[in-house]
Every structure is written in C-alpha cells, then in structure tokens.
A and B are shown apart, each in its own frame.
Chain A
C-alpha cells in the first residue's frame, strides 16, 4: 500500500491499541502480498501467467472475482479488471505524450472480462490477458481489516488507508471521525472536513497521475471499451457509502462518466464531493 495507513481507536488501553494496529497491519500486508500485481509470487501472477490454462483458486480469490464480475455487469462493462494492460500505452508522468490509436487497438484485443471463465474451483484467462485487482484491492483491504478487528474489540474503530477509510461507528468522545478531503488543486490541503460517524469514504481522481496534451487533461482512469480516459471528468470524486469497496467503485465509475459524473452519483442517492 503505497500510501500512509492508519488505524484509529479511542481507548486508554495502549496495549490493546498496539495489538489491534499490529494485527491490522498483518492483515493489510497479507492482502497486498496476495493480490498485488507487482509481485511474482502470488495468485494474481499465477493467473496472469496461465497461458490459457485453468488456475486453481481459493475461496477469497473466487469471491473477489465474483465481485469483479458483478461490478462488470452492473456497470455495463465500464468496470473491468482485465483493463490494466491499457496502462502500458499511457505514461501518466505529467508529460504530454499521447499513445497511438493502433497501440491502443492492439491492447484492447486483450481486454474483456466476458472472455474470462471462472468458477469456485478455477479461473481461466485467455493467453495474453491479465487481471488486476488495483481497482478494488485497497478498498477491500480497508473493509476486511475493519471487519477482522471488530471481531476482537468492542470499541469503535476507523481504518484509513491513504484517504480511503471506513469507520465501524462513532467514537464515544468526539461523536464523529474528522476526515479531510484533499483539494486536488491544492495538494496537501484539506479542502473540506467531513464528520464521519459510521460508514466509508473513498476517493478517485487524477490528482497526481495525469498528462496534459493539446491543452486537454488526461487522467489515469481509463475506459476499458475505448482505452481512453473520459473527457470532462471531475478532478476528484469522493463518495460516502456503507463500505469502502462500494464507495471506491462508485467514485471510479463517476470519473468514467465524464461530464455526467454528478448525475450518475445523484442517481445512486449517495453523498459525494466532486472537484472540477
């Protein structure tokens, strides 16, 4: 998790706090090791190197795939965990280099969740395709850590991994967790402080990863159908929902809606903060 992570708990029992933080850290590491696509010793690597063979999976991996499948269906294909390969064509380093359409077209042939076959026992990717849990991994870790910790502790807890956070309930003293949303135009400054009693927040946006070419700004969230980012997207979208995973999916989909981000979020009847 390439971002600062914190677990907050309101208690005067220092030992309890230390134990919870350690166990939360262990669980977060476990998830990162298992599902990161930047490692070569985990299940994601095995699946991606499958060359068209069926790869045995465990229950947790199955549930994540099933969830990704659901999101793919609900979003009419806008959320697709096989779209990570498109990133090869884009360098979001603040430069002005756009990818060639022919390169994108070639990569698009290896994108398409509907080509993936999976069931509780195994998953089979056509050769050349890759999956990437980047779009749900961190949010899943937040929710999973919180769920685990709550089983050992009756105090309310807040898990915050780099701004994506989930609170089990309000802290007794303060009544709410104070959470800042960063203003993408002024990195480092909290644009707004949200009082979060329970539930989750997740943010998607191009605050750090974008390129500007021909006077247009291209963010790093790519549409799996076109290989291009949506145009006229908000710079950042923060969504409040019951879990961090839901908030994360909704904020990502909102970015992909471009100028329709707000109307999409209105239709979801969730609280959100968009910065344009």
Chain B
C-alpha cells in the first residue's frame, strides 16, 4: 500500500511541475470557468449529503475535503 501511495504522490508532483507552468488561461478567458456550475464545489449541498450518506454506509470518507464526519453513525 505504501508503494501505491508513494507512486501516486510522485505522479501528483510530476503532474504539478510539468503541467502547471504551461497550462492555464488569460484572465479574460475565464468566462466559462467562472460560471457557478463549473466550480469545483458546484452542487455543494449534494456533495455534503453524499459524503454523509456514504460515510455512514461505507468504510471510506473524505478525499475532496476532510474525512471527519461529525456523526455517531459510523
């Protein structure tokens, strides 16, 4: 498991280093990206509900946000 995680971290760092300098848009090209439904946390209430439901039914939680559930259900 450690190996997988390390490989993933390495991949992440590589993606960061290689991608970030060449990717991107100019400030005036942000039209589509600034729309509500293109935000990473669009449908925030749905995401919160899902996180809560799956927290109480499965052994995993978090990922996009913190893993804590604040709930006695699991």
Do A and B touch (CB < 8 Å)? Answer: yes
Q: Give me the interface of A with B, judged by CB distance under 8 Å.
A: 72-73, 76-78, 114, 225
Min C-beta distance of B25 to chain A, whole Å: 11
Sample (13) of A-B pairs whose CB atoms are under 8 Å apart: A72-B27, A73-B27, A76-B27, A76-B28, A76-B30, A76-B31, A77-B26, A77-B27, A77-B28, A78-B28, A114-B27, A225-B26, A225-B28
- Interface of chain B: mostly helix, strand, loop or mixed: loop
What is the total of A-B residue contacts with beta carbons within 8 Å? 13
Residues of A within 8 A of B31 (CB): 76
Residues of B within 8 A of A73 (CB): 27
Q: What is the interface size of chain B, counting residues whose CB is below 8 A from a CB of the partner? A: 5
Which of chain A's residues has its CB closest to B27's CB? A77
Residues of B within 8 A of A114 (CB): 27
Residues of A within 8 A of B30 (CB): 76
Which of chain A's residues has its CB closest to B34's CB? A76
Which of chain B's residues has its CB closest to A113's CB? B27
Residues of A within 8 A of B28 (CB): 76-78, 225
Residues of B within 8 A of A225 (CB): 26, 28
Min C-beta distance of B38 to chain A, whole Å: 15
Residues of A within 8 A of B27 (CB): 72-73, 76-77, 114
Min C-beta distance of B21 to chain A, whole Å: 15
What does the 1/0 interface line of B16-34 toward A look like (CB < 8 Å)? Answer: 0000000000111011000
A114 CA to B29 CA, complexed, in Å: 13
A225 CA to B28 CA, complexed, in Å: 9
